[in-house]
Structure 1
């Protein structure tokens, strides 16, 4: 099973329907998202890796797919993703070993697609 693209694709239509139903809520969330993940003292790549680790702890496959993809787009590497996911083992125990594996699979899926089109530099 794909924990990256397949999860994102499965959520497209339901998300679009809900977005049409509550556009102002989504607009507010987008503002929060963009503000929280903007470069600051921490760069966006680091923040996306933090978000990926939190997604593992929250056991949210949609969040895992979104933040794995974004972390790759912002230059994260598989070893960086693995270390961020490893911290979730400490903080979340056994469930993190399941969702961490899903997160790493999603990350590698997006990383491989990215490097196939953009070369080895993430």
Structure 2
């Protein structure tokens, strides 16, 4: 029998979180309801965004939960996968863009080598 990397989300786990920090749990739940409510962005769009971000933050609980919420809101598998590809490109783009820091450090090192 293999052991799961992450424990399954259970009612008992949720209850334990509530018991350990009830005020913070209530505030977090209220915040989530406000964030995912219909607004300038439709709830479906917000859930698609959440699925994409969950892949970047690599939260398995968020991936599962927001995928289910997105499907309930009317998202399709194609929309979710496309959003995940956008998130992947943005994450890769961040690494590519930060290469500027390495290039700057190389230039600084080369400048220091010339002045030694």
Q: Residues 65-80 of structure 1 correspond to what in structure 2 (within 5 A)?
A: 65-80=64-79
Residue 49 (structure 1) aligned with residue 48 (structure 2): yes
Residues of 1 paired with 2:91 and 2:59: CA distance? 13
Does 65-74 or 13-22 show the bigger shift? 13-22
- How many residues align? The count is 88
Q: What TM-score, normalized by structure 1, do the two folds share? A: 0.66
Deviation at 1:29, TM superposition (A): 0.5
Q: What TM-score, normalized by structure 2, do the two folds share? A: 0.69
Deviations 1:15-57 (Å, cap 9, x if unpaired)? 3211222111111001110111110111000000001111000
Q: Residues 34-45 of structure 1 correspond to what in structure 2 (within 5 A)?
A: 34-45=33-44
Residue 17 (structure 1) aligned with residue 5 (structure 2): no
Which has more radius of gyration?
A: 2
Q: Residues 80-99 of structure 1 correspond to what in structure 2 (within 5 A)?
A: 80-93=79-92
Gaps of 5+ in 1: 1-5, 94-122
Aligned-pair Cα RMSD in Å:
2.1
